[in-house]
Amino acid sequence: MSDVSCDDSARMTETLKEVWGAERQGMGLRDPETMLEIWVTSHNGEWLIVQSYANGTSCIVAMGAHWEGSRANPA
């Protein structure tokens, strides 16, 4: 895969879910026009960071393997 892969946000979400079997684990705003999402595959621990823009475009900006989620500590 190239360094950055972009597509329509709805199509990107569908591809991540249906083709890769990924689930969104978290998201947050980078600025008023940009959101970052972390997607993880359930079968092999591969992860992706997707940057989504207000114009309806999303780009995979990072990916890797061996994802280990953290558990929230009760207060």
Other Cβ atoms less than 10 A from the Cβ of 75: the count is 3
Asked whether residue 17 is domain-assigned, the answer is yes
Instruction: Decide: 18 and 67 in contact? Cβ < 8 Å.
Output: no
**Number of domains making up the chain:** 1
Domain range spanning residue 10?
5-64
The per-residue pLDDT for range 18-72, each reduced to its tens digit, is 988 999 999 999 999 999 999 999 888 899 999 999 999 999 999 999 888 777 6
